[in-house]
Amino acid sequence: MTRRIAWQAVVLFSVSAGLLYAQSGGATVPTVGGFVRESNRSSNELILSMMSRGGLTETLEIAKALAERRDPFIGDILAGIAGSAYGKEGYLAEMSLQVLLRGFFEGGDFLNGRVERARLAPNSTEVGRLVRRLQDFGDPLLKAELLGLAIDTVPQAAAKVAAEESTFLLGLLKKGDGRLPPEPSQEALAYLGLVARLKDPVLIEQTVSLIEASRDPYFVRRARAVVGG
């Protein structure tokens, strides 16, 4: 066992023991969420290990706490969650990614636009990898978050990502007799937002095909606003 791994094991044990002590009525100690919020990138490997060992509640608590952390680098955590090293069921990994992406880059209470861009910059390579893998993911809310980050992370590939998403949505519409389930509807709106920003003629044509296949008045109205018809 290396010195670094041994140190991480001690920290993990200390946090866990502290929580048990607090739950038993002992003195107040930092929670796991508090530890994560005050951490920096030097603790990323440990935090990923904690997420891999936790259940749904613990994992999402850590993801939410990370979204409030001020150190902007979480690229290795994103890679770990998305990759085989994470070792969790796919749905939990994707849910964790969605919570983390939304909070870290778009939703923290103390954040404004400038800070959000500053937080995205050091993570753009890893987020870009996730965006390029968009169709590998099954969680519509995660896909919606990634579509919203496409232009800022993979500007040269954003049109391709949008075209693949258009093909996917068209398949859903045909399967659902012109209607989308509730969560994919959010994904579809994120797609329209990306098309509106790209203003690509090919994507406009593909979006017209979605309008023709859709029986959802709200989606059709939003899509027509994007294509200008």
Asked if 97 contacts 129 with a C-beta cutoff of 8 angstroms, the reply is no
Residues 116 and 216 in one domain: no
Residues 137 and 38 in one domain: yes
Residues 74 and 91 in one domain: yes
Residues 117 and 182 in one domain: no
Q: Summarize the confidence of residues 3-23 as an average pLDDT.
A: 44
Number of domains in the chain: 2
Domain-embedded: residue 16:
no
Output the pTM of the full model: 0.81
The listed range with the strongest mean pLDDT (8-12, 112-116, 131-135) is 131-135
Residues 100 and 54 in one domain: yes
Domain-embedded: residue 138:
yes
User: Which residues form the domain of 70?
Assistant: 31-155
Residues 105 and 201 in one domain: no
Residues 177 and 92 in one domain: no
Residues 130 and 171 in one domain: no
Domain-embedded: residue 10:
no
Residues 199 and 132 in one domain: no
pLDDT tens string 22-39: 444 554 456 888 999 999
Longest C-alpha distance within the chain, in Å? Answer: 65
Q: Summarize the confidence of residues 117-134 as an average pLDDT.
A: 92
Residues 179 and 137 in one domain: no
Domain-embedded: residue 49:
yes
Residues 37 and 150 in one domain: yes
Asked if 94 contacts 142 with a C-beta cutoff of 8 angstroms, the reply is yes
CA-based nearest residue to 52, from 17, 19, 92? 92
Domain-embedded: residue 62:
yes
Residues 86 and 106 in one domain: yes
Structure confidence at residue 67 (pLDDT): 83
Residue 83 has what DSSP assignment? S
Asked if 65 contacts 30 with a C-beta cutoff of 8 angstroms, the reply is no
* Residue that terminates a domain, selected from 129, 155, 181: 155
Q: Tell me the pLDDT of the chain averaged across its residues.
A: 82
* Residue that terminates a domain, selected from 134, 155, 176: 155
CB within 8 A of 27, min separation 6: which ones? Answer: 21
* Residue that terminates a domain, selected from 155, 189, 205: 155
Structure confidence at residue 184 (pLDDT): 80
**Residue in the structure block whose two tokens are 């949008």:** 162
Domain-embedded: residue 109:
yes
pLDDT over threshold 70, residue 132: yes
Length of the chain: 229
